[in-house]
Each structure stands twice: as C-alpha cells, then as structure tokens.
Amino acid sequence: MKAVASLVVLALTGCGGSVTSGPDAGEEEAGTDAPIQADVPAPSDVAQPQPYDGTVGKPCSSDSDCKSANGPGLARCSSSVFAPQDFYPTPVCILPSCSPVSDTKGLHFCDGPDDPSSPGICVPYATSGTVCVPKCSYDKDGGAPTGCVGHDACFAYASAPESGYGYCWAACTQDSDCSDGQKCQVDEGWCVQGVQPPTKNLGDSCTSSDTNLGVCNCLYGASNSGYCSSVCTIGSSTCPNGYVCDSLETRISGYTTPNVGMGGYCAIDCASDAGVCPGTSACTSVFASGPDCIPP
C-alpha cells in the first residue's frame, strides 16, 4: 500500500404552463367545476439518483453502513473488501477500485468529482489495480492532519508531495488498536487475523519483494533496494533508538516540520554519523524529519 463532498445531484426542473385555454386569455375558463389535484410534487422535489455514494471515510462495521440513499452502492466496508483481514484498525468505507487514474504520478480524487471536494483519493494498491481510500490533508505548520478516524493515520502521497493531501491507511501499534479481535502486525501497522513476524531485522538490506513476501516492511526507493523499516506516527513513534519517524514530507514543497500524528516509517537517524547509512541509502535532509538515511 505504501509506494501505495459534495455530491453531484441531477435535478429536473418542473415545466410551468398557462392555466387558461384558447387563444384569448381573457375568455372565461371552461371546466371550472372539475376537481383540482393538489399536493403533487414537482419533478424537482423527487429524489434523483446520484453518481457517487459520498461515504468513503465513514466508519463502518458492514457494507450496509456505506450505502447512501440515492447512490450507486459501490462503497463497501474495508473489513469486507480486505477480508479475512481488517487492515484498517478502524474500518472505514472505501471503493474497491477507482478511476480515472490516467497516470502514475497524478493526484486523483474519488467517490465524487476528480477534485478536492471529494472524500476519497485514488491510490495504487498491491502490485496492480487501484483503491479509493479516505482523503486526508495536512498543513505546513506541523499541525495534526485531518480526515482520518480512530487509529488510522494520514500518509503523505509520494506522487504529489506538494499538495498537502494524503491517504488514510492502517497504523496500529498494538493489538488493542484493532477491531474484531484481530492482531496488530506492528511493522506494517495492519490489523490481521494472524501476525507474521518479520524474518529480517530492522536495518537489514531488502527489496520490494521482501515487503510482498512478508519478510519485512522494506523502505525502498526508485532503485527498488533499501532497508527493513516499520510503520510509525509522528509524535508517538515506536521507532527504536537510532531511528527517526519519517513522514516523507518534502522540504522542497515547504514542509519543514513533520505534522504531529502523520503516519511514517522508521528511518535510520544519521544526524551525528552519516556513515551509519546501510547499502546505497544516503544521509539526507530531503524530508522534514531528516537528516536520515533514505534509499535512492
């Protein structure tokens, strides 16, 4: 998953017309004794179908919680979509797929128009496909992000780091953060039926395939190589000594102070020793949490 509202209402307008008959409006009206039908709603008063559910981000316990009165019924509860795993500590309504995603680097919104008024953001999921998850936003002053609920956290969207918009994803730190008796896969922040302990240690060299195989949560870059990391949140980091929680907010985009509560990844702190960076990773301050070791 790591890399990983206004509704449009189609309203009809009622047509008005003359109540007089004949070419001369001054002539006496015929049929005045006919009964008058009252209180018939105009077409504009009738609820019209909506192209979006508008419920992405709403807490849920079942798919029925994600339905809207006149929506298409596409939104589903995350615990249903990802079953048997919950993933999200606090299950929320999402769309199992979304469009348009005309490119891999653009920022696209969903469960509404493709603009910031919508509640969802369309992001790549797993090795292929897309998913519409709750949208979150954060400022450049280090304040808490908005848009996520419970123990779900706001993660910066790497494809558009300057936008101030991110996506809400799993960030549990202990079993009690999870629902339905599921357990916390701490390194990933996921709520799952059964924990799979990493077989590599924090800081060990890794590639994206290690993440896909559950070997460890690999912090990697475009080179596809990096080192084993773990999910964390700014301000309440579970990172061990020698590591800093990096929310991947870029300084070049104006983010110089990490936003408290943002989700991130444990990165090796190189403030006092640039030589600690493993493999090809480099000590850099490209992100607000730095200097830390970032894979190329």
Residues 149-189 pLDDT 10s: 999 999 998 778 788 999 999 999 999 999 989 999 999 99
- The CA-CA-CA angle for residues 79, 211, 291, to 5°, reads 110
173 and 80 share a domain? Answer: yes
Is the model's pLDDT at 75 over the cut of 60? yes
Q: Which residue type, as a one-letter code, is found at position 151?
A: H
Mean pLDDT of 226-235: 96
203 and 122 share a domain? Answer: no
115 and 220 share a domain? Answer: no
Domain of residue 285 covers 198-294
82 and 144 share a domain? Answer: yes
Contact, 210 vs 204, CB < 8 A? Answer: no
Is the model's pLDDT at 22 over the cut of 70? no
**Residue 29 is assigned to a structural domain of this protein:** no
Q: What percent of the chain has pLDDT over 90?
A: 69
Contact, 216 vs 254, CB < 8 A? Answer: no
DSSP string covering 238-258: -PPTTEEEE---BGGGT--SP
Higher pLDDT, 24 or 12: 24
107 and 151 share a domain? Answer: yes
Is the model's pLDDT at 5 over the cut of 50? no
Rounded distance between C-alpha atoms, residue 193 and residue 171, angstroms:
16
Q: Would you state the pLDDT for residue 84?
A: 96
Q: Would you state the pLDDT for residue 17?
A: 30
- The CA-CA-CA angle for residues 102, 74, 76, to 5°, reads 110
Least confident of 101-105, 140-144, 236-240: 101-105
* Number of domains into which the chain is organized: 2
Nearest partner of 11 among 42, 52, 41, 48, judged by Cα: 48
**Residue 3 is assigned to a structural domain of this protein:** no
Rounded distance between C-alpha atoms, residue 71 and residue 93, angstroms:
14
**Residue 53 is assigned to a structural domain of this protein:** no
* Share of the chain residues as helix, strand and coil, in percent rounded to the nearest 5: 10, 25, 65
Q: Would you state the pLDDT for residue 28?
A: 37
47 pLDDT band, cuts 50/70/90, is low
**Residue 76 is assigned to a structural domain of this protein:** yes
Tokens 């301000």 found at: 235
- The CA-CA-CA angle for residues 121, 127, 132, to 5°, reads 15
Q: Would you state the pLDDT for residue 65?
A: 98
Tokens 């509704």 found at: 7
Higher pLDDT, 213 or 162: 213
